[in-house]
Amino acid sequence: MTVTPWLAPIVWEGTFNQEVIDRIYRNVNLKVGVTVFAVGKYIRFLHGFLETAEKHLLQGYQVHYYIFTDKPSNVPQVELAPGRALTVVQVTKYARWQEISLRRMEIIKHTIQDWLLQEVNFLYCLDVDMLFHHHWGAEVLGSLVAAIHPGYYKVHRSVFPYERRSTSTAYVPIDQGDFYYAGAMFGGYVKNVLRLTEACHAALLTDRLNAIEAAWQEESHLNRYLLHHKPTKVLSPEYLWDDTKQQPPELKVIRFSTVIKNNAKVRENA
């Protein structure tokens, strides 16, 4: 598929002309923010993330990394290209890995409200246990952007791991849903990312009051939100792959992929 039923493009190799896109965006002085959480043992992934991002992520554009960590002094030194910047923000390390992951919505929301609305035009929120392998450029820019989860792009929606308990605010009925989107990447205009994080944070709080945690924490809430707020651009699994899977023939290129990790070693309380 190269277009969604609501006519948003699905970005694959061969569906865009990089030269044309760069000609449009390079002249408009864009600032793109990238949020990355590296809390607890996940700090070990930050060096590879940043080093490969400097080779492949929005090359030639002004990118500002916002690194959220409980250990600011352990943030590695990585040489940044001209026009690129990095800010470290100290955050609390929660005891459960699920809590660390889902709290990102709340922290990103506050950070946007406090300063990012003034600092960047676009904001992309990415997982840290990932490496860039290939061009991940301005073709990803859009009003509201999500990526199809690499594990679920070929299966029927009835098997998507949406939250299926109707008592959760992340509930998606069995006969609904367009794609299963990955929690490891969402982005778009900073004001749209603010709306998304506000809605997901409010939903997470309601679930907490009702003593329920959605099946895949903030990823479940993201999927519920995107069911009713359709992305204007969808990234194919080229843009978010998983190293535990072999490269299938339909994937001409892998641009950004999770590193294989030992969950028991890096996650809190795993």
**Does 163 engage in binding with ligand UD2 (CB under 6 A)?**
no
Indicate the residue whose CB is closest to ligand UD2: 183
- The b-or-e profile of 162-200 (16+ CB within 10 A means b, else e) is bbeeeebbbbbeeeebbbbbbbbbbbbbbebbbbbbbbb
Query: For the chain, how far is it from start to end, CA to CA, in angstroms?
Result: 37
Binding to ligand UD2 by CB under 6 A, coded x per residue (else -) over 174-213, reads --------xxx-----------------------------
Which one from 139, 213, 218, 219 is the annotated catalytic residue? 219
Binding residues: 37-39, 42, 127-129, 149, 219, 242
Strand partners of residue 250: none
Q: How many CB atoms lie within 10 A of CB 8?
A: 19
Total residues contacting ligand UD2 by CB under 6 A comes to 23
**Does 42 engage in binding with ligand UD2 (CB under 6 A)?**
yes
Supply 55's token pair.
């080779």
**Does 162 engage in binding with ligand UD2 (CB under 6 A)?**
no
Contact 146, 231 (CB under 8 A): yes
CB of 26 to ligand UD2, least distance (A): 30
Interacting residues of 82 by C-beta distance below 8 A, sequence separation 6+: none
219 is catalytic: yes
CB of 238 to ligand UD2, least distance (A): 14
Stretch that binds ligand UD2, among 20-28, 51-59, 123-131, 166-174 (CB under 6 A): 123-131
Q: Which residues are catalytic?
A: 219
